[in-house]
Copies of this chain bind each other. A is one copy, B any other.
Amino acid sequence: MPDKPDMPEQPGDTAPGKEQPRRRQARGERRIQQLLEAAASVFCTTGYTAASTNAIAREAGVSPGTLYQFFPNKEAIAVELGGRLMHDLRNTYGEALAPIDPGTSLTDAVNATVDRLTAFNTEHPVFFALMHGPDVPGGITEAHDALHSNLLGRIEGLLASLLPPGTDQAHITRTAHVSLGIYKSGLELVLSHEGAEREAYIQEIKNVLTRYLEPLVGDRLGRTAD
């Protein structure tokens, strides 16, 4: 997506055996990586709205022109960054948001999910910035929306495996929205505290979610012996 193909590939470029094109793509990929890391850093420190493409380019150590060779605009950077983060979340934290094994208690499910998500978010603070998006209410926030709906979809899947079969889809969706909201607002508190207080807030997120979902999960064990 970031690769604007407005400059047609030279014919023969794709021929096997020629490293030229591959090396180029490799260089491009490195640049993209650089830029995304820089963007992450800038988004974290200045917020998305206030982040300037020039600042991102500077942080990445490249010229503004170079940035625009890979991304058509600021939005696109956020979109790509969000996409890669989601990919990471899937790969690295594997089942963080995967459907829950039927035998698992709600408490365990919530605890594991929250722990994994929190770990991920602590390691990738941009995620939070992107999740909250710009402060514009009805925003034109492609990046944020993509991330949000992706997360939402995964949470819906997770809930579908948790709630009794036959639960109304609208209800699942609503519950997913609420759960994600709880997590996001909790995360804000977690990230703004440290040490024991942070741990306490993590526990609070778990409490809120468990208690919220408990009446909904039916006959599943509400709580494993702990």
Q: Interface of A with B (CB < 8 Å)? A: 44-50, 125, 128-129, 132-139, 174-175, 177-178, 181-182, 184-186, 188-189, 191, 197, 200-201, 204-205, 207-208, 211-212, 214-215
Contact = CB atoms under 8 A, between A and B. Distances in A.
B49 A134 contact: yes
Q: Is the interface of A mostly helix, strand, loop or mixed?
A: helix
Contacts of A211: 211-212, 214-215
Given A48-B135, A181-B186, 16 more contacts: A45-B136, A46-B137, A47-B49, A49-B134, A49-B136, A132-B135, A133-B135, A174-B200, A174-B201, A178-B201, A181-B185, A181-B189, A182-B185, A211-B211, A211-B214, A212-B212
Nearest to A180: B185
A137 B47 contact: yes
Contacts of A44: 137
A217 to B, nearest CB: 13
9 contacts: A46-B136, A49-B135, A177-B201, A178-B185, A178-B186, A181-B185, A185-B185, A211-B211, A211-B215
A178 B197 CA distance: 13
A47 B134 contact: yes
A170 B177 CA distance: 29
A43 B187 CA distance: 25
A133 B132 CA distance: 11
A48 to B, nearest CB: 5
B181 A45 contact: no
A46 B44 CA distance: 21
Contacts of A132: 135
A217 B62 CA distance: 57
A10 B186 CA distance: 51
Please indicate which of the listed interface residues A137, A175, A189 has the most CB atoms of chain B within 10 Å of its own CB: A137
Nearest to A191: B137
